[in-house]
Amino acid sequence: MTGLGAALRLLPRRACDVDDLVDAARELCAAGWPGLRLVLDEDDPRRPTLRVEEDERSQGVDLLELAGGISGGTHDVGPAGLAAALRRWVDERPVTDAEARRRGIAVLGWSRTGDGTLTWQVAVRRGTGSVTWTPHPFTSALDVLAVQGAARARAADVVVRCSAVGPVLLLDADEPQLATAALAAPEQVLDRAVEIGLPLGAGCVVVTPGRAVAWAAPAVARRLAGESTEPCAVLPWRAVADLPWC
């Protein structure tokens, strides 16, 4: 970044006008979104709310709060930018059971208890990234198991790039969140590693959800992870399949 660019970032950003955001929300509701019900609630003019409903899921956002988030960021606050911000919010709506069953992919994520352990999660790719599925309170245990099983099978088909950096095998995907999907079928990765010339049968994986996965001999994996400034987990590859679901 040039010196001028750095200085420009310090200038006050243009605030997002809530009325403009409400106008954009009105247009979004009028245009509609396949499979979704979008409702703009303007009963309380001080608290306009946009709600998205899909099957058993529903989520609302206070447009005043959303406007605050847009002002605080580096977003475009023109009509096109506001429409994009609303589409991004809709894109991040909760995943329905039907969508998870149809398109869910098993990936690794941090446990929601915040204890720094990894869990398997069902993620669905959306336009702006991946969204994790949380079973609905009324979803039966059998249905949850079916969704998880299908997601694990689908994960094996995700295209993950394998590359060797010396003694380290790196697994990376176009969508970073999906790199860990390869660990749902570790034997496939091991076969590929042998083709590359890296026998990693006794290896460990270094996992930071949303990042490339590193796979190496235990001592190398410890050296790699020991110097990380970001949280990561090091575990034998055979232990990955036994991680719990969130």
Partner 1 sequence: MTMAYEQQTRVVLVPHWLSAADRDALTACLEAALLREDLPTSTADRLVDVLTELHVARARDVVWPSSAARVRLVTGWDPDTLPVRLSAMELACTLSLPELPAPVRAALTGGRSA
CA 167/CA 182 separation, integer angstroms: 19
Segment contacting partner 1 (CB under 8 A): 103-111, 143-151, 203-211, 235-243? 203-211
Q: Token pair for residue 234?
A: 């090091």
What minimum distance in Å lies between the beta carbon of 81 and partner 1? 25
What minimum distance in Å lies between the beta carbon of 221 and partner 1? 9
Which of 2, 74, 113, 229 touches partner 1 (CB under 8 A)? 229
Which segments within the chain are labelled E, that is strand?
Answer: 37-41, 49-54, 57-62, 105-110, 118-126, 129-132, 161-165, 168-172, 204-207, 213-216, 233-236
Half-sphere exposure of residue 154: CA atoms within 13 angstroms, side-chain side? 20
Residues 137-196 that bind partner 1 (CB under 8 A): 165-168, 170, 172
Does position 208 bind partner 1 by CB under 8 A? yes
What minimum distance in Å lies between the beta carbon of 211 and partner 1? 5
Number of residues that bind partner 1 (CB under 8 A): 24
What minimum distance in Å lies between the beta carbon of 228 and partner 1? 6
Q: Under 8 Å CB-to-CB from 137, ≥6 apart: which residues?
A: none
Among residues 45, 3, 52, 54, which one has the least CA distance to residue 22? 45
- Binding stretches for partner 1 (CB under 8 A): 1, 165-168, 170, 172, 206, 208, 211-214, 216, 220, 222-224, 226-230, 232
